Structure 1
Amino acid sequence: MLHPQVEASLAVRRRPPAEVLEADPYEQLVFARQAMEDAVEAECGPAIPLPVVVDVDAGGVPCRLYAGRVGAPVFVYLHGGGWCYGSIETVDRLCRRIADRSGCAVLSVGYRLAPEHVFPAALDDVETVLSWIRKEGAGLGVDPSRLAIGGDSAGGQLATVAARRQRDAVTPLDFQVLIYPAIDPMTASESYDEVGAYGLDRASMRLAWETFVPAVAQRFSPDVAPLAVEDLAGMPPALVLTAEYDVLRDEGADYADALVAAGVQVVHVRYAGVNHGFARKLALFDAARAAADQIAVSLRAALTF
């Protein structure tokens, strides 16, 4: 059953007026980006104070470090938004809660967005950040020898692709957190037809994939489509969160199943009654606070305190 909080949440963000809807696609994109930023307070609530919240330059990539203690493990977080929207600010409250509850340092990444910067720009930024934190982390007072990665939606796609590339480079990560990850550029799973348009639909996802990866042939590469990887063995253990009323629900579940089939330790939890994007909206969804705390507990267990 659809939770009443879903309908309430859909009314919070500013919707484009007729003149924007009639404008060119880039003007629509600019409006949508700003509307997402403007809704942060209403959707995500007040900021939890932490001992350390500092913006850093991670090898040329803007990031924000959240930390509560010296020597903490590091969780690199990648925001969602269809590779075109979102920012460090739109996941600030979620990152603060995870840092507060887990005891980990959280490094939130402001990777470059499409269409100004198409694939592989965002992935390159993530790999730059991972290399930077491994090298500079000790000087920042954190422990980069215990390193996890995660993200929501488009950020989940970037996270698991980066985790696979780190595996292949023999610099494996310790854990991955995938929150309703975007996995299938073909948008072919049944949930696209079964789930109503509660903030996300097939047309929107197709546009996101096409904007992020304009070259059709590239959409079938392992660096874009995680299920195109021939062998997932040796991937980091994973926490996969999906949402019942999310068109990405089935592809996230399929990827969790593929990891399990490859011998990877996976916990997959489907949050009932909620839609895509719920996890960062701590002010609107009870499930968001539960999900953030589940992520925190999983990180504590995975990074061996």
Structure 2
Amino acid sequence: MLHPQVTAAAQLRRRPSSEELSADPYQRLLGVRAAMEESNEAETGPALPLPVVADFDADGVPCRLYATRVGGPVLVYLHGGGWCYGSIETVDRFCRRVAERSGCAVVSVGYRLAPEHVFPAAVDDAETVLRYLRKSGTELGLDPARIAIGGDSAGGQIATVTARRQRDAVTPLDYQVLIYPALDPLTSSESYDELGEYGLDRASMRLAWETFVPDPMLRLTPDVAPLAVADLSGMPPTLVITAEYDALRDEGADYADALIAAGVPVVHTRYMGVNHGFARKLATIDAARAAADQVASALRSALTF
């Protein structure tokens, strides 16, 4: 059963006006972006104060650092939003809670969005940030020898593609956190048929994939479709979080199973009664706080040795 908190949280976001609905596709997209930012504080709550919250530039990529101590490991985090929406601000409260409870620093990445910047811009930005942290992380008070990567939804896709590319470059990451990741450009799983009425449907995901990767010939390449990767061995230990009422539920579960089959240590947790996007809504959905705390606990166990 869908939790009443999910229904209540959905009412906080402004619905597109008739003018926005009748506008050209790009103007409609701008309207959705604005609505997500406008509802952010109501959905996510007040900012948790931390010793360090600082914006910085990682060789051209805007980032925000959250830290509670000097010399700790770091999670590089990629926000969700269908590769077209979202920002450092929309995951600010989530990143603060994870940093405060894990003892790890969090670097939130303001990667370039589609359609202004299509694939591979977002992946390039993630890799730029990793190179910067390995080169200059100690100057930021971080331990560049202990780096995890994570993200939600589209950010989960960017995160695990980047993790696989780092594996192939023999610069492996230590851990990955994938929160209801978007992994299947074909939108082929049964959960799309069963759960499309709960806030995210097949049509909207197809549009997101097409906007992010306009060239259909690229959509089943390993840098776009993680489930198409033939060999997942050597990927970092992984936490996968999925949601019961999420159209992306099955592809996240399938990827967790594929990682396990490849010998990768995996914890897969399905949060019941919630839908896509729940994890950042700390002020409105109890499960969001539980998910953030699970991420923090996993990072603390994996990285704070």
Question: What band does the TM-score fall into relative to the shorter chain?
Answer: over 0.9
Q: Residue 133 of structure 1: CA displacement?
A: 0.5
Q: Is the 8 A contact 2:104 2:304 kept in 1?
A: no
Task: Find the aligned partners of 2:28 and 2:91 in 1 and give their Cα distance.
Answer: 22
Aligned to 2:132: 132
Aligned to 2:89: 89
Task: Find the aligned partners of 1:293 and 1:17 in 2 and give their Cα distance.
Answer: 37
Task: Find the aligned partners of 2:72 and 2:135 in 1 and give their Cα distance.
Answer: 15
1:232-270 CA-partner distances (Å, limit 9, x unpaired): 000000000000000000000000000000000000000
Aligned to 2:120: 120
Q: Residue 198 of structure 1: CA displacement?
A: 1.7
Aligned to 1:234: 234
Aligned to 2:15: 15
Task: Find the aligned partners of 1:199 and 1:12 in 2 and give their Cα distance.
Answer: 14
Q: Residue 228 of structure 1: CA displacement?
A: 1.0
1:1-305 equivalences under 5 Å are 1-305=1-305
1:34 alignment partner AA: A
2:228 alignment partner AA: A
Task: Find the aligned partners of 1:201 and 1:48 in 2 and give their Cα distance.
Answer: 33
1:37-76 CA-partner distances (Å, limit 9, x unpaired): 1111100000000000000000100000001101010000
Task: Find the aligned partners of 2:304 and 2:69 in 1 and give their Cα distance.
Answer: 15
Task: Find the aligned partners of 1:64 and 1:175 in 2 and give their Cα distance.
Answer: 20
Q: Residue 164 of structure 1: CA displacement?
A: 0.2
Structure 2 gaps, min length 5: none
Q: Residue 222 of structure 1: CA displacement?
A: 0.2
1:116-174 CA-partner distances (Å, limit 9, x unpaired): 00000010000000000011001111101000000000000000000000000000000
- For the residue of structure 1 that corresponds to 2:267, the secondary structure is strand
2:61 alignment partner AA: V
Q: Residue 287 of structure 1: CA displacement?
A: 0.2
Instruction: Using structure 2 for the length normalisation, give the TM-score.
Output: 0.99
Structure 1 gaps, min length 5: none
Task: Find the aligned partners of 1:291 and 1:28 in 2 and give their Cα distance.
Answer: 31
- For the residue of structure 2 that corresponds to 1:220, the secondary structure is coil
- For the residue of structure 1 that corresponds to 2:57, the secondary structure is strand
Q: Residue 297 of structure 1: CA displacement?
A: 0.2
Q: Is the 8 A contact 2:72 2:304 kept in 1?
A: no
Instruction: Using structure 1 for the length normalisation, give the TM-score.
Output: 0.99
Task: Find the aligned partners of 1:219 and 1:10 in 2 and give their Cα distance.
Answer: 31
Stretch deviating more after TM superposition (5-14 or 241-250): 5-14
Stretch deviating more after TM superposition (269-278 or 187-196): 187-196
CA RMSD, Structure 1 to Structure 2 (Å): 0.6
Q: Is the 8 A contact 2:148 2:175 kept in 1?
A: yes
Identical aligned residues as a percent: 77
1:104 alignment partner AA: C
Task: Find the aligned partners of 1:38 and 1:195 in 2 and give their Cα distance.
Answer: 26
Q: Residue 6 of structure 1: CA displacement?
A: 1.3
1:119 alignment partner AA: F
Task: Find the aligned partners of 1:164 and 1:4 in 2 and give their Cα distance.
Answer: 38
Q: Is the 8 A contact 2:196 2:202 kept in 1?
A: no
2:205 alignment partner AA: M
